Amino acid sequence: MARVALVTGGMGGLGEAICIKMAALGYQVVTTYSPGNTKAQDWLASMESQGYKFKAYPCDVSDYDSAVACINKIAEEIGPVDVLVNNAGITRDMTFKKMDKVNWDAVMKTNLDSVFNMTKPVCDGMLERGWGRIINISSVNGQKGAFGQTNYSAAKAGMHGFTKALALEVARKGVTVNTISPGYIGTKMVMAIPSEVLESKIIPQIPMGRLGKPEEVAGLVAYLASDEAAFLTGANIAINGGQHMH
């Protein structure tokens, strides 16, 4: 039986590349979309026309009850989750002076509480079966901070604290927990930045002189999910073209 890989936010720029890579490796790929996302069926149809049969479930990852209901449905209809990729995330950028509680809470709930919400209902099963992979998609801005991102930097840094603590607790049970911290990746969101800003402000920060490719992050996810990566846990792997080294 194929292992089940659940990728939250799989219809986004990075998530789609991760879903495609995992499917190519033979995983049964399941993804989530926000309950209000009206384009989910179109995305599924477009993926199917390219040969990918993904399953998708509505889930608000920022809401614990929604996460539990989603995981229960996946367990009933497909099977237990073997690989969980906590990829869904949002930004609400503004300086701290302008930051209000609504935008602080939205980013903390969607990027950080979501990691608890999704991991909690799958973790016990992974421990019982003696195998599991939890992969948290953080950001270079969680490692180095970013102007206008107190909320996002805090949430993304918090993900790695979670990774390290849980990695310790599950290390003897065949379950690994790791963080990936991508730098600027050429997703639609980043490509929407005006090209003169990209060329003059962003690319010069990246020693490799280019944006990362979603497929490059997906390749790292695939490695962390593999049996070969069994000894790798509690790590925060930077994938940023040399933009930030620590």
Strand order across the 175-182 sheet: 55-58, 28-33, 4-7, 83-86, 132-137, 175-182, 236-239
For the CB of residue 118, give the shortest distance to ligand NDP in the complex, in Å: 9
Which regions of the chain does DSSP assign to beta strands (E)? 4-7, 28-33, 55-58, 83-86, 132-137, 175-182, 236-239
Residue from 4, 185, 222, 225 touching ligand NDP (CB under 6 A): that is: 185
Which residue's C-beta sits nearest to ligand NDP? Answer: 12
> Does residue 174 interact with ligand NDP by CB under 6 A?
no
For the CB of residue 37, give the shortest distance to ligand NDP in the complex, in Å: 3
Which one of 7-15, 163-171, 195-203, 228-236 is the stretch in contact with ligand NDP (CB under 6 A)?
A: 7-15
List binders of ligand NDP among 193-232 (CB under 6 A).
none
Read off the DSSP letter of residue 2.
P
**Comparing C-alpha atoms, which of 140, 110, 123 is closest to residue 236?**
140
List binders of ligand NDP among 95-134 (CB under 6 A).
110
Task: Encode 14-73 in three state secondary structure.
Answer: HHHHHHHHHHHCCCEEEEEECCCCCCHHHHHHHHHHCCCCCEEEECCCCCHHHHHHHHHH
For the CB of residue 114, give the shortest distance to ligand NDP in the complex, in Å: 7
For the CB of residue 132, give the shortest distance to ligand NDP in the complex, in Å: 20
CA 44, chain centre distance (Å): 19
Residue from 5, 6, 11, 126 touching ligand NDP (CB under 6 A): that is: 11
CA distance 56 to 152: 26
**Whether 223 is catalytic:** no
Binding mask 30-69 for ligand NDP (x = CB under 6 A): --xxx--x---------------------xxxx-------
Active-site residue list: 152
Query: Which residues are near ligand NDP by CB under 6 A?
Result: 8-9, 11-15, 32-34, 37, 59-62, 87-90, 110, 137, 139, 182, 184-185, 187, 189-190
